Amino acid sequence: MDKSKRIFARGGRAAGRGGGGSTSTRGGVTKRGKGRGHAEALEEISEPLSSFKGIFNKDLRIMMYGFGDDVCPLDETVELVEDIMLEYVKEATHRAAFLSAEALKSKVDERDILLSVRKDPAKFARVRELLAMQQIIKDARNTFKETAAEDAIAADEAAGGGDEGE
């Protein structure tokens, strides 16, 4: 038996060479030995998409109009776009959860999301942009809260300025 037939008969190139355990692919994400238990548990507890039906209906209608559709798109079209969107979000979340589980983490964080879209430059750039914007908004809120607290203290002191000497 020649070399190529032996490799194929053994189950591929990585078989028997310490490739990190058995591998399987589901939804474009490779799962290796230790993370598989977490990934399978995630599949079992995932909520059915039907429970989210209709939540994004109004927003999708506005977005579809903004992208050139009719002012009142057909209900069937909105439902189809919503189904596609929900399926995409589910798959993206599962990819990030699989990566998180492989790293033996109990929660998905922004690094897992970035890791799951790293091969798509447009998505990667958009996620980074959104994360940067989230940080800017968070900083602005904190600054506003600090300023509002300082203003409230100053107003309180101005209104009751004689209380300190009593």
Rounded to 10 degrees, the C-alpha dihedral 87/88/90/93 comes to: 170
Q: Which residue has the higher pLDDT, 129 or 45?
A: 129
pLDDT of residue 11: 40
Confirm if 108 and 64 have CB atoms less than 8 A apart.
no
pTM here is 0.55
CA 106 to chain CA centroid, Å, is 15
List, for residues 75-88, the tens digit of each pLDDT value.
999 999 999 999 99
Query: Could you tell me the maximum CA-CA distance found in the chain, to the nearest angstrom?
Result: 102
Please compute the mean of the pLDDT values over residues 67-75 and round it to a whole number: 94
The superfamily (CATH) of domain 28-107 is Histone, subunit A (1.10.20.10)
CB 101 within 8 A of CB 42: yes
